[in-house]
Amino acid sequence: MSFEPLRHTMKAVSLKGIPIALLATLAACSKTTDPSVVIETAPVERRSIVLSAQANGTVEPVTVVEVKSKASGTIIRMPVDIGSNVKVGDLLVQIDPRDVQNQYDQSAADLSSATVQRQVALAQRNRSADLFRQKIITQQEMEAATLAFANADASVIKARTNLSIARVRLEDATGSNREGRYWRYELWLREQESRLGSITGGNGSIYALNRGDYVEVDPRWGHDLAFPYRMVQAGRRAVYEPAALAFEKPTPTNEAEYARKVRMFEHCWEITLRGSMMRRLPPGYLVSVISHRLLRYGSGVLHVALLGTSLALAQTAEKVFYRRTMTSEK
């Protein structure tokens, strides 16, 4: 009799446990419905890995260029410093020109003395040759006179070389004008013109001619260009004498030389167009005047014409070739 209530109690407990289990199951199901974790993504790209390093050291140039002056002396001016940006023609160092000027003057005096000694030695050799033919002097005396003349001639060559070196040093110390190479070419050209017949241009520092051959010219033209072709028109020759000494102070800077060239070109064109330069000239000399004077004066116009033709030809089929040519002209 006592077992029934106990069985009833057990059933009641088991029924009460069902809701608890359902609640636990529902709770577990509710947790699984949370959203998933978001993972960021990016497209694959090729990039450079930058590696940097720090170190102590000394920065050195790949190529070291030593700039040396042909002249030596006391530095009186240095407008640039280490690390300064410079361009062609800038003044780096200015040297006291008094020492190099004295060296140049001494070299010029040595050349003058050597030239006179050569003339004296030549006269003595010629007299000795006459006396030797008359059997008045011995063979040894004749050989001594010949040797003296050879030594005097060598002294003149040496003096000219020293004067040329002194001139380069003076130009290097007194300014930035670098016309020396052009001037040496001009002197060489005049020597060749003298061998062929007559020079086409003179030097404004010195002339030597007979009094009766002197002609008056327009002061705007000057005698540098007028004398040579006027001499040829009169049936004479104008020759270059390398032993003649002429002293002319060069322009100190390229800017001053440019201004001088502009002034000269104005006179050159006027004497070419109005000075009867092309009249009554022998064929050979006329070719020299056209080549060495007329074409030189017209070089600016010729360059402009060449540039214009290159621009026109650059539009044709051979564009690459003419464009390269036009670039080189600029």
**Tens digits of residue pLDDT in 298-325:** 888 888 888 888 777 777 655 666 666 6
| Neighbour count for residue 66 (Cβ, 10 Å) | 4
Sign of CA dihedral 224, 227, 230, 235: negative
**Residue whose C-alpha is closest to residue 248's, from 240, 257, 238, 235:** 257
Please list, residue by residue across 82-119, b when 16 or more beta carbons sit within 10 angstroms of its beta carbon and e when fewer do. Answer: eeeeeeeeeeeebbebebbbebbeebbebbeebbebbe
Mean pLDDT of the chain: 77
Burial environment of residue 228 by CB neighbours within 10 A (0 to 12, 13 to 18, 19 or more): buried
**What is the predicted pLDDT for the residue at 141?**
92
**What is the predicted pLDDT for the residue at 1?**
40
Band (pLDDT 50/70/90 cuts) for residue 186 is confident
- Cα 157–chain centre separation: 30
Least confident of 132-136, 182-186, 238-242: 182-186
Structure token digits, residue 184: 């040496």
Contacts of 246 (CB under 8 A, 6+ apart): 203, 205, 206
Band (pLDDT 50/70/90 cuts) for residue 149 is very high
Structure token digits, residue 315: 């539009």
| Neighbour count for residue 307 (Cβ, 10 Å) | 14
Structure token digits, residue 155: 């002294």
Rounded CA-CA distance 264/215 in Å is 20
Structure token digits, residue 145: 């006179």
- Indicate whether 16 pLDDT > 50: no
| This prediction's pTM | 0.46
Rounded CA-CA distance 309/57 in Å is 55
- Indicate whether 25 pLDDT > 80: no
**What is the predicted pLDDT for the residue at 72?**
73
Burial environment of residue 23 by CB neighbours within 10 A (0 to 12, 13 to 18, 19 or more): exposed
- Mean of pLDDT values over 118-127: 93
AA letter at 182:
Y
Structure token digits, residue 76: 């009186």
**What is the predicted pLDDT for the residue at 326?**
59
Structure token digits, residue 60: 């050195």
Rounded CA-CA distance 222/281 in Å is 20
